[in-house]
Structure 1
Amino acid sequence: MDIALVGIGKIAVDQHVPAINASPDWTLAATVSRQGSVDGVDSYTDFAQMLAERPEIRVVSLCLPPVPRFGYAAAALAAGRHVMLEKPPGASLSECHRLIELARAQGVTLYATWHSREAAMVAPAKAWLTDKTMTRMTVTWKEDVRRWHPGQDWIWEPGGLGVFDPGINALSIVTEILPDPIHLTAATLEVPENKQGPIAASLRFAHPKGADVSAVFDWRQDGDQTWTIEVETDAGTLALHDGGARMVINGQEHRAEGPTLEGEYPRLYANMAGLVATGDSDVDLAPMRHVADAFLLGRRETVAPFHD
């Protein structure tokens, strides 16, 4: 199938383009971007023009920042195109629900992707936890914003999520692997005095069976990056490390046979091909609900200014 990629920035170049080019399901037929392009691929700066001139392109993958994404997604759906959304699926929950309605009315596929759910050991962790009684879960997600988001000012603005841009990856794994739903009860958001978005956050959740569930996100990490989820159960402990690439159960490491993190985006595009083939959609908003709740319930603390 032909696919158009919209928003040719760092994530598109690093992840989406290689995944599409390596896929047996897709041909990158066009790009839309004000600045970026892909060698050998027709490029547009105007999305409406691409939709009008390329009716044979039935699928659009949107890699834009969250705030402008809704307009592009709504236009694509109105034109009868299937739409794949980078995470988070929108700047607000209301936008996402509107896109679900539009996709349903048009009879097309809408796929809200959560790439961290496709890390190699997430599915095995979910399977192991299915019949266990959890007593504690601790999420530690600490990275260096300068390394992963250099010069991306939009990420600090309203709708950019701040530290929840990576933190929502952790929440996408948590909501995937837990047998029982959780909800946020308290949060502290550390906001630099010169920014709109938080640079760090601590969260606490209620679990229906009384487990102690907490998370810490921080963008000020030097040295090794930390993406860990640790779970204590009645059958021992499980830990996911490196964003779900590695799993340790009761001290024994379990390794994936295939790609670990580098397999995330290829699996997303394989999922999208399957959804289009069956006419289904997949728009799970659970990770985003937790972030929205954190902004609603979170206590703000002003911290030192941050400069790239």
Structure 2
Amino acid sequence: MTAATPIRVALIGLGKIARDQHLPAMAADPRFALVAVVSRHAQQPGLPSFHTFDDLLASGVAFDAVALCTPPQVRHGLARRALEAGKHVMLEKPPGATLSEVEDLRQVADARGVTLQATWHSRYAPAVAPARAWLEGRTITAARINWREDVRVWHPGQDWIWEPGGLGVFDPGINALSIATAVLPRPFFLTEATLHVPENRQSPIQAQLAFVDTLGVPVTAEFDFLQTGPQSWDIEVDTDGGALRLSHGGARLWIDRALVHEQPEAEYPGLYARFAELIGAGQSDVDVTPLRHVADVFLLGRRVAAPAFIE
């Protein structure tokens, strides 16, 4: 895999995340070449564009991998077809609508000898690895997640996010859980949750969660899809060596209120670098820990009615 022989990628789904992140990340990495797009509603100038994956397969366009950016509810069938055709697959987060779907894809990828990557882009935020390193060897006494954003800004007109499998506020909330599971040294488990579900929707718009880790240390989370003004994507960890805070979605690291690490955002370039490494090594990366936590929330959480959500 070099600039002379790049991995040829077909992008399936050409919505906001594909345009904002996948297209520029591939364009900046010579190990990849975008060769086709599949979308029911959009085209990419200068590239073969197809309405369905079947149309792409029938076209004769040669490709080695697919990046799947569709809503999670329809992802499994497309990913399985691609794996069965011998293509490497990158799954946008969350990797599927259910844990069973993702496990099926993992087994198919293993059987076909191709790479499957379940991506968690927030783990590639620049301050996440330094935070994990700083926490090593310290005694943690509590952790708090505060993840609040405006759904009208980040998901305008995206009705799928409110349907079963769309996750509602857990679409961004799962990013926080992906960071927490990467930086906290021990597994943690849900003890209780409250889900606020608008009376005209199927998925929650707010949530409060309580976890404990294997030593009984509390981990709490507040998720909110109705934040206006400045957005809040923070994780705070109390330790015997001071207080750590990850802010701006993992872009900045603070220790005892002093900023100690900040770099430009490069999450998706990191994802694609990892994808190239996995393909080169003949491996897969199918960590479903954040999705398992969300599944636990929907299994154990108490639902309360919230006012109707109007776009």
Flag whether TM exceeds 0.5 (same fold).
yes
Say whether residues 1:289 and 2:292 are aligned partners: yes
Q: Give distance in 2, aligned partners of 1:255 and 1:136.
A: 22
Task: Give per-residue Cα distances to partners, 1:59-102, cap 9 Å, x unaligned.
Answer: 10000000000010000001010000000000000000000000
User: Per the alignment, in what secondary structure is the counterpart of residue 70 of structure 2?
Assistant: coil
Deviation at residue 114 of structure 1 after TM alignment: 0.4
Q: After alignment, is 247-256 or 28-37 more displaced?
A: 247-256
Separation of aligned partners in 2, 1:259 and 1:26:
22
Counterpart in the other structure of 1:242 = 248
Q: Would you say how many aligned residue pairs link Structure 1 and Structure 2?
A: 305
Q: Paired residue for 2:233? A: 227
* Aligned-partner Cα distance in 1 for 2:58–2:259: 52
Instruction: With the length of structure 2 as denominator, give the TM-score of the two structures.
Output: 0.96
Q: Distance in 2 between matches of 1:236 and 1:111?
A: 35
1:302 pairs with 2:305: yes
Structure 2 distance, partners of 1:276, 1:168, is 26
The residue that corresponds to 1:139 in the other structure is: 145
1:164 equivalent in structure 2: 170
Give how far 1:19 is off.
Answer: 0.7
SS at match of 1:255: strand
Distance of 1:37 and 1:186 partners within structure 2? 44
Give, in whole Å, the separation in 1 of the partners of 2:112 and 2:98. Answer: 22
**1:259 and 2:264 correspond:** yes
> Is 1:102 paired with 2:108?
yes
Segments of 5+ residues of structure 2 without an aligned counterpart are 1-6
Distance (Å, rounded) in 2 between the aligned partners of 1:54 and 1:128: 50
Deviation at 1:255, TM superposition (A): 2.5
- 1:57 — aligned with what? 63
TM-score, normalization by structure 1: 0.97
Distance 1:85 1:28 in 2: 16
Q: Does 1:213 align with 2:222?
A: no
Q: For 1:163 and 1:18, how far apart are their aligned partners in 2?
A: 26
**Structure 1 residue 55: deviation in Å?**
6.1
Aligned to 1:29: 35
Deviation at 1:54, TM superposition (A): 3.9
SS at 1:151 equivalent: coil
Question: Counterparts in 2 of 1:182-201, with a 5 A limit?
Answer: 182-201=188-207
2:233 is paired with a residue whose SS is strand
Gaps of 5+ in 1: none
| Cα distance in 2 for residues equivalent to 1:277 and 1:23 | 15
* CA pair 275-54 structure 1, distance change in 2 beyond 3 A: farther
CA distance in 1, matches of 2:43, 2:61: 20
Give the counterpart letter for 2:187 in structure 1.
Answer: P
Distance 1:284 1:54 in 2: 33
Query: What amino acid maps onto 1:275 in structure 2?
Result: L
Q: Deviations over 1:219-245 (max 9, x none)?
A: 011110000000000111100000000
C-alpha distance after superposition, 1:140-193 (max 9, x if no partner): 000000000000001000000000000000000000111101111110000011
Contact 1:135/1:210 (<8 A) preserved:
no
What CA RMSD, in Å, does the superposition of the two structures yield over aligned residues? 0.9
Tell me the secondary structure at the aligned position of residue 210 of structure 2.
Answer: strand
Q: Which residue of 2 aligns with 1:44?
A: 50
Letter matched to residue 5 of structure 1: L
Query: Following the alignment from structure 1 to structure 2, what is the Cα–Cα distance between the partners of residues 154 and 279?
Result: 34
Corresponding residue SS for 1:269: helix
Q: Percent identity?
A: 56
